[in-house]
Amino acid sequence: LAYGRAIDFLDVATSEVHELCRISGETTQLCGRDGDHMVVLAMADAPGHFRVSSRVGTRFPLNWTASGPLLVGHLPEFERVALFRNAAKVSPTGRSETDPVRLAREAEVALAQRLSVHLSESDFAVVCIASPICNRDGECVATISLVVPEQKAAQRGDEFARLVREASQRIEAMLGWGAH
C-alpha cells in the first residue's frame, strides 16, 4: 500500500509520454480536463520539422481535441450533454462537432473503444490520436495522444492507434488501475 501511494501519476505518465515519442517518432502529449477544457499536462516533441503549436498548459475546448471526448466519456449521458451544450465551440478550422447530443454519444463510444481520432479539428492537416488513462473505477483521468501530420496518419494510422492504446494500458498497469 505504501508503494502504491508513493507512485506519482504525473511521473509515471510523463515517462510513458517520452517512451511513446521515442517508439513512434511522433509528438506525444498527456492531457487532462480542466472544467470544460482539455489541458496539455506533459509533452514530448518529435524530431524533425513538424511542430505542434500547443505546449504544456495550453487549453482547448473539449470538442476540439481527440482527448476531450475521452475525458468525459465516463460521465452519465445527461452530464455529457449538459457539458457540451455549455462548452462546445466552433474550432478555427470550422470542422469541430458542436452538437451536444452527438458529442455525448461520441464520448461514450470513444471511451468504450479506448480510442478517439480527430482530423483537422483545431489545426488544418493535423491528426490527434488519443487513448484514455482510466482509474480503478473506469473514470478517464487523462489521455495520452500522438499529434501527427495528416499524411503520416493516413500511412500509419492503425499502428498509431495500437501504440497509444498500449501506452495508456501500460500507465494504468504501472499505477495498479488495470482491469476496470
Digit-coded pLDDT (tens) for 30-83? 999 999 999 999 999 888 766 666 788 899 999 989 999 999 999 999 999 999
Confidence of residue 2 (pLDDT cuts 50, 70, 90): very low
Which of 55-69, 89-103, 115-129, 157-171 shows the highest mean pLDDT?
Answer: 157-171
Gap between the Cα atoms of 160 and 146, Å rounded? 7
Residues 11-33 have a mean pLDDT of 95
Q: Residue 150: what pLDDT?
A: 85
* Amino acid 25: pLDDT: 93
Confidence of residue 121 (pLDDT cuts 50, 70, 90): low
Contact 143, 133 (CB under 8 A): yes
Q: Which residues are 31's β-sheet partners?
A: 40, 143
Which pLDDT value is given to residue 158?
Answer: 96
pLDDT at 120 over 80: no
Query: What integer best gives the mean pLDDT of the chain?
Result: 89
Question: CA-CA distances (angstroms) from residue 55 to 58, 162, 171?
Answer: 6, 24, 21
- Residues with Cβ within 8 Å of 101's Cβ and at least 6 positions away in sequence, in order, are 81
For the segment 138-149, the average pLDDT, to the nearest whole number, is 95
- pLDDT given for residue 6 in this prediction: 47
| pLDDT at position 179 over 90 | no
Provide the CB-side half-sphere exposure for 61 (13 A, CA): 19
> At residue 124, does pLDDT exceed 60?
no
User: Cα–Cα distance between 169 and 179 in angstroms, integer?
Assistant: 9
Of 124, 117, 113, 112, give the one whose Cα is nearest residue 156: 117
**Cell digits of residue 72:** 468525459
125 pLDDT band, cuts 50/70/90, is confident
